[in-house]
Chain A
Amino acid sequence: MNHGAGGRATAQLVAELFARAFDNPWLGQGDDGAVLPAPAPGERLVMATDGHVVSPLFFPGGDIGSLAVHGTVNDLAVMGARPLYLSASFILEEGYPLADLKRIVDSMAAASRAAGVPVVTGDTKVVEQGKGDGVFIATTGIGALPAERSPGGARARPGDVVLVSGSMGDHGMAILAVRESLAFDSEIRSDSAALHGLVEALYAALPAEAIRVLRDPTRGGLATTLNEIARQSGAGMRIEEAAVPVHPQVEAACELLGLDPLYLANEGKLIAVVAPESADAALAALRAHPLGSAAARIGTVVEDAHHFVQLATPLGGQRMLDWLSGEPLPRIC
């Protein structure tokens, strides 16, 4: 690929590759922006944006294209919103193989179509070789938030139940395995998926008020997300380590590498904090959905002035699920 910024070649690329892949009426208008219908009365608009940089660009279970769709769709979904439209901005490195770019764009288009959330506007820039890492994609999404829904990180209260929609750490370990060329008995696949269907299933099954917090535990994993919720809500949490689902091969890889799956990223998992009386209904609703078949109840919100997230270990011990400042640093003296 050799396409100077703003040149004819880029315009051609956009027209041919992107427009064809994402084809939809709004994008087809070909104007500087997309004109979209107003939301239904009473609904509010939610907007979220996410820049995607991932190395490697292709990994088992997905690539940067599908990830760019899922990441932003999930940000809207965990706000309780129904995702409606996406925008996409591509930063391409000069010399990146066109065939690979096409794979990414096709995968992104497929993810957008599967999610039912069209990419209605976009932009492409090419940077000099060495000034990028192949492909960066920034996506922005707009969703409609029904009046009765208001999940928020500060709404967890003592007694509430913490649920996860499935196994923890798949995406983080899949990426790591490819990046470090680690071979495992069977391939570890990213869980990259759009979660809004799962969220709708949850809202269909229980009163909106009972859904206190929804989050997708991406970077920093379950541990970091739970700490964020605890701090925002001014409460503590008690989590049963044995109740947190982890794939055996992720577990084994973590054992080898000395990593904790609860700190690994996920791209298709939901954390739901729900009112105690609705916990069973919520769990059933999650499990009835294909993306939540391994959903589990992992713990409860407790009163705690320190906002500690405590992990009860299978041996009867307790351990802090700390909020790390960055990469875990050795600390055993």
Chain B
Amino acid sequence: MNGDGGIPRQLPPTVERRRLRVRGVVQGVGFRPFVYRLAQELGLSGWVRNDGGGVEIEVQGKPGNLSALIARLHGEAPPRARIDHLESDLRETDASDHGFTITASRRGEVTTAIGPDTAVCADCLRELFDPADRRWRYPFINCTHCGPRYTITRGLPYDRVNTSMAAFDFCMDCADEYGDPADRRFHAEPNACPACGPHLALLEGYGVTVATRDPVADTLLRLLCGEIVAIKGLGGFHLLCDARNPEAVARLRARKSREDKPLALMVANLASARRWAALSPTDERLLASPERPVVLCDKLPSVDRELDGVAPHLAWVGLMLPYTPLHYLLFHDHAGRPAGTGWLDMAQDLALVCTSANPGGEPLVIGNREATRRLMGVADAYLMHDRDIVVRCDDSVVRSLPSPRAGDADMQFIRRSRGYVPSAVKLACKGAAVLAFGGFLKNTLCMTRGDEAFMSQHVGDLESAGACQALDEAAEHLRHILALEPEAVAHDLHPDFASTHAALAMAERLGIPAFPVQHHHAHIAAVEAEHRHLGPTLGLALDGTGLGSDGRAWGGELLQVDGPRFARLGHLAALPLPGADKAAREPWRMASAVLHLLGRGGEIAARFHREQAAWRMADLLAAGTRCPPTTSLGRWFDAAAGLLGVCERMGYEGEAAMRLESLATAHGPALPLPGGWRLVEDKGAAAGTLDLLPLLAVLADERNTARGAALFHATLAAALEAWVLRATDVSGIRTVALSGGCFLNRLLSRDLGRRLAARGLTVLEARQVPPNDGGLALGQARIARYLLEGY
């Protein structure tokens, strides 16, 4: 340090004093110590403090040094910080000012954001595995650059008293670190050590504490013996078991009633991950990123050979690296507790199935007592601790994009939650505070503030009371941490979603307007919002189903979107949905619907003889009983999977389409089927109706499932291209937004994206939020803002 702390100086006339207000992600990321060190280096006096609005700085010194400070604030900000706005005002100089201090936080108008949770950093890992360090193998090690944030914070400002660390008093050593501006832990709010911080406890499945001196070693032993252990993570509990033990994996599946759904794998490091998947450079960057999402990677044969039942029938496997010190300790133990971090560069044998502990599809378990209650009979043991999780936050799931077009993001969200929440999505302009309540499945909320949109963590499928409660909690939490009252709410058109009910209830309570937003309009608006594109836009929304403005089940829509308005330029040919929502879970029903349309209803009973209802399905379709029409592309995927015999009944949502994509991936590229689709004139829809029936007729007789799957993907992309081109001719619009859950299909989005770009169209895709219903709330919020502002 070359500071001038403590020595009063004479002020030359050239001295200036400035007040700086910095906004963005500047709390909980080591920003004040960073300012402190800069001020010291530049010989500036004054102070820095957190306030509800961000960080406030007052500095005095040579004008050149003041501008240097401002430049370096931007240029050298800590890795997790993001400066969105910096205001600077001249102030009266203060002759008595000397030295630079970090002063107490001040409450005020809250306009800042809490940082997201971050994986343990390299510096902390070095200490964690240094036998001489006082935090050697301490599972709660963290510093200003890493550790829990969002999930332990009750409100702003981000100070220890507002986190669940308030329950722990610093020991002298930790207090010194916290107070020493030169220390990496200066003002690290969750700072802790074995003497003063949280501790582990291992409990038996029936809730009794295990008398053990080493809960981590004991846990590892249990895992290796085939037990299922619930381990408390950052945003909730996980269920872990040994991925190499097929019997344990099968037991975990049985206890979670999750027969076929792929399970994520936690491995020690990239070297270990390479054993199970062919990693692209982007995959590696994502895996090792501080956000530590689950990354869907191209599966190597070793997974099915050695990790039976982890990711059956799919071309990819979900991988993640440890992100809490506790996760690392399990791998460290298995590696024989080496000193230093060299072992982290070497492949390790341990592979753990790591799935969120959400029994019965209900929200993630976060509390200790809750864990023993809700995971009874699921977990054989619990590894928990006494640092409370304040905010439930599931793992994020992402996927790299094979070869993004220049300047494009190289990843796609499947679920945006831990690590990314509550980072804001930047909007094109400022506007009203709007709270959008999202859809029914994969629900998330979105609240806007100024020119930022804050997406909530993953709330989940609103099928259980627990999820509906979690929705209310998430809504309250967003209002609380943004310290903002919404001026309007937005919700889906569907009258029976719990999210719709919650939105209407809040609107009534607060006396604010509620705007219903059509599902696919919202999907497209979400993409427009993140790209700060003002429109007009051609929107291709492809998903399962969403309620259309005509009361029907839409899901393959070509829209012209103009801010708060849209016109339906075209849609997919309708398929009957025999048994309504049941057909969304049973692809054989959709295959039957297609056979019926092909005039081949007589084949249904024999083809699907395993299905009890099959012998009556032809009659049902002929009579049209309980067969509402849908224009959903998701259901066309299901029909294709059903006809090819890939999947007759789904064990989890999207299974048929995922298996079809996996088969097509394995097969490799195919040529589109000539005449595989028809563009049918439709007086209500300028771009026409896209009918894929000719393609499906061929698939109905295709015996090679992989070839059929590849043909389906290739023809679909070509058909969609032709359809979109027709719409650009009709509308004159050259910007196309692609959204909806079908765009999670990598083959489809890559192929179609390339085709449209090659035609000179500007293609906008969902990159900052998922294209599925997890991103819906962003679009709803955008549209509600338009409506509120009277467009």
Spell out A's residues near B (CB within 8 Å): 180-183, 236, 252, 255-259, 304, 306, 308, 310, 313, 315-320, 322, 324-326, 328-333
Contacts and interface: CB of A to CB of B under 8 A. Distances in A.
A257 B581 contact: no
Given A258-B626, A310-B465, A315-B257, A330 B362 contact: no
A315 B773 CA distance: 26
A329 B466 CA distance: 22
Interface residues of B, number: 55
B411 interface: no
Given A318-B466, A330-B584, A333-B441, 17 more contacts: A182-B616, A182-B620, A257-B625, A258-B579, A258-B580, A258-B583, A306-B468, A310-B465, A316-B360, A317-B362, A329-B495, A330-B547, A330-B553, A331-B581, A332-B544, A332-B585, A333-B555
Nearest to A257: B626
Contact of A315 (B360, B439, B468, B583): B360
A255 B466 CA distance: 26
B570 interface: no
A320 B584 contact: no
Contacts of B463: 319-320
Most buried by A among B359, B465, B555: B465
B271 interface: no
B655 to A, nearest CB: 13
5 contacts: A181-B623, A308-B468, A329-B496, A329-B553, A333-B546
A259 B626 CA distance: 9
Contacts of A329: 494-496, 547, 551, 553
A259 B634 CA distance: 21
B543 interface: yes
B246 interface: no
B498 interface: yes
Interface in B578-593: 578-585
A255 B617 CA distance: 11
B237 interface: no
Given A258-B580, A306-B468, A330 B616 contact: no
A330 B466 CA distance: 22
Provide the main secondary structure of the chain A interface. Answer: loop
A331 B628 CA distance: 12
A330 B554 CA distance: 10
Interface of B: 257, 359-362, 439-441, 462-466, 468-469, 472, 494-498, 519, 543-547, 551, 553, 555, 577-585, 612-613, 616-617, 619-620, 623, 625-626, 628, 630, 634, 653, 741, 772-773
B230 to A, nearest CB: 16
B578 A258 contact: yes
Give the 9 A-B residue pairs with the shortest CB-CB distance, closest first.
A258-B579, A258-B582, A317-B360, A332-B584, A333-B544, A325-B495, A180-B625, A256-B613, A330-B553
Contact of A306 (B465, B577, B653): B465
A257 B579 contact: yes
Nearest to A316: B360
A315 B464 CA distance: 14
Given A306-B468, A317-B361, A325-B496, A330 B613 contact: no
B441 A328 contact: no
A181 B624 CA distance: 11
Nearest to B776: A333
Nearest to A318: B464
Nearest to B520: A333
A329 B773 CA distance: 17
A330 B545 contact: yes
A233 B469 CA distance: 20
Contact of B469 (A181, A306, A331): A306
A235 to B, nearest CB: 13
